[in-house]
């Protein structure tokens, strides 16, 4: 019993985690609460950048208010109910509420006391969490974010974006190296796609002939045409799948950011790790992935122009993420090309006010040779050593990863109806 009590008390000191530090999916959340501090926290959710696409409704009320509302309108993705009582009467009112909710509705309950028996009863019904009022903003936002991510099936997947501070810094080569490291060394089922359309060079680096366009891929995602998408895939190894695009017209408009995001969302339902090369993407598409990614890898060189761009880019990303930079990794690539013209390693962190995750020395024979011959970085010892420097970034993203099939709870409605049937 003490362990159960600690389980729902522990959330009181919770901070935003890497898992929830993303732009949350489109959803609707209704809160029926009366505690003033909790009400203020709920209303402040609208100012959290992660909730930009979440419709939040806050009403001073309780379970009866929710029943009245949903008797006349559709229930949301997530409903949060505050209660002053924790007895059987409240549980019965929840059962009445379930009649007005569909199978996808989830629920969180806020109560007056640490009641382990109620906690056990509610979670067995499928209620996501039981919190004790007043609920602080950081607790409420984190609990809702986790509930939405788990409910919509993306908590088991990780999206990694790789973006160059400027052109020519080696973004594509390192993205492909990271893909090989994830798939072959960490044995993770990985999906790689290049957002550059006709400007993509991934086909050369991975070794395939482009068989589709980005436009065709997003159309397949929009229509949920899995068979059509399969013909656009290339599997260079057991654990790595690549979207074999690149046959787009180079001078034609790219896809819209929203279309590309739909493709990403679809892929994340099937692949634990989705890796996107953003080096040739249009700005709006870059921004979409930057705000959505669980981890963003910024690639620069130790030259002054590239470092200035890296500093500006990191600053913009931090602003988009409400000042948070915990999910940004900086890679300094091509170190040693011309030492006399480079910013010394010891001065880079000071100049950027950001510590590089790794520094990679330039090996012209390796990089230029691989590019000309269509080889990947793991084809030789030096390349494998470079990939090993990238793996801590991948391991950081994968830590604590879970899949929906392993952790998803039955819906609030399913569990409540099951209890009613069992009583009958």
**Tens-binned pLDDT, residue by residue, of the chain (424 aa):** 444 444 444 444 445 565 677 768 778 999 999 999 999 999 999 888 888 778 999 999 999 999 999 999 999 999 999 999 878 888 888 888 888 887 778 899 999 988 777 777 777 777 888 899 999 999 999 999 988 887 765 545 789 999 999 999 999 999 999 999 999 888 888 999 999 999 998 988 888 999 899 999 999 999 989 899 999 999 999 999 999 999 999 999 999 999 999 999 889 878 889 999 999 999 999 999 998 898 999 999 999 999 999 999 999 999 988 888 889 999 999 999 888 889 988 899 988 888 999 999 988 888 777 776 767 777 788 888 888 899 898 888 776 443 333 334 455 555 544 443 343 3
Those residues whose C-beta lies under 8 Å from the C-beta of residue 194, and which sit 6 or more positions away, are 172, 175, 200, 201, 202, 243, 245, 246, 276, 277, 279, 280
Do 2-153 and 158-398 fold alike per CATH? yes
Q: What is the pTM of this model?
A: 0.67
Contact 110, 80 (CB under 8 A): yes
Contact 391, 185 (CB under 8 A): yes
CATH architecture for the domain at 2-153: 3-Layer(aba) Sandwich (3.40)
Q: What is the DSSP string of 363-387?
A: -HHHHHHHHHHT--GGGSHHHHHHH
Contact 192, 243 (CB under 8 A): yes
Domain 158-398 CATH superfamily: P-loop containing nucleotide triphosphate hydrolases (3.40.50.300)
Both tokens of 287, joined, read 């921004």
Instruction: Give the helix ranges, DSSP H, for 111-248.
Output: 116-125, 137-151, 171-180, 202-206, 214-222, 226-230
Enumerate the domain spans of the chain.
Answer: 2-153, 158-398
Q: What is the pLDDT of residue 156?
A: 59
């Amino acid at each position: 019993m003490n362990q159960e009590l600690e389980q729902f008390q522990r959330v009181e000191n919770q901070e935003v985690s890497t898992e929830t530090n993303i732009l949350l999916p489109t959803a609707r959340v209704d809160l029926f609460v009366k505690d003033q501090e909790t009400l203020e926290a709920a209303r402040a959710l609208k100012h959290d950048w992660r909730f930009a696409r979440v419709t939040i409704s806050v009403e001073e009320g309780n379970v009866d208010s929710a029943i009245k509302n949903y008797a006349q309108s559709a229930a949301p993705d997530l409903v949060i109910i505050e209660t002053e009582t924790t007895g059987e009467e409240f549980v019965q009112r929840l059962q009445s509420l379930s009649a007005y909710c569909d199978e996808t509705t989830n629920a969180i309950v806020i109560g007056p006391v640490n009641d382990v028996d109620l906690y056990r009863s509610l979670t067995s019904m499928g209620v996501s969490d039981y919190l004790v009022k007043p609920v602080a903003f950081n607790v409420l936002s984190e609990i809702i974010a986790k509930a939405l991510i788990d409910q919509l099936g993306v908590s088991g997947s990780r999206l990694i974006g790789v973006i160059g501070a400027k052109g020519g810094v080696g973004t594509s080569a390192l993205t492909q190296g990271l893909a090989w490291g994830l798939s072959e060394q960490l044995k993770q089922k990985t999906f790689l796609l290049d957002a550059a359309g006709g400007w993509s060079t991934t086909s050369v680096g991975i070794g395939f002939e482009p068989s589709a366009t980005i436009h065709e891929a997003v159309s397949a995602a929009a229509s949920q045409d899995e068979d059509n998408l399969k013909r656009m895939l290339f599997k260079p190894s057991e654990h790595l799948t690549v979207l074999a695009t690149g046959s787009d017209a180079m001078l034609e408009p790219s896809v819209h950011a929203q279309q590309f995001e739909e493709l990403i969302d679809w892929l994340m339902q099937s692949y634990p790790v989705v890796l996107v090369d953003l080096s040739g993407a249009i700005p709006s598409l870059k921004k979409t992935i930057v705000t959505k990614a669980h981890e963003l890898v910024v690639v620069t060189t130790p030259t002054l122009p590239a470092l200035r761009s890296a500093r500006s880019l990191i600053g913009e990303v931090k602003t988009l993420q409400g000042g948070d930079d915990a999910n940004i990794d900086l890679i300094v690539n091509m170190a040693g090309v011309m030492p006399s013209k480079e910013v010394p390693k010891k001065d880079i962190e000071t100049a950027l006010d950001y510590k590089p995750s790794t520094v990679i020395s330039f090996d012209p024979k390796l990089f230029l040779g691989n590019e000309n011959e269509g080889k990947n970085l793991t084809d030789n010892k030096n390349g494998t050593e470079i990939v090993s420097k990238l793996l801590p970034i991948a391991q950081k993203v994968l830590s604590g990863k879970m899949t929906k099939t392993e952790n998803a709870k039955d819906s609030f409605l399913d569990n409540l109806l099951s209890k009613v049937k069992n009583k009958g």
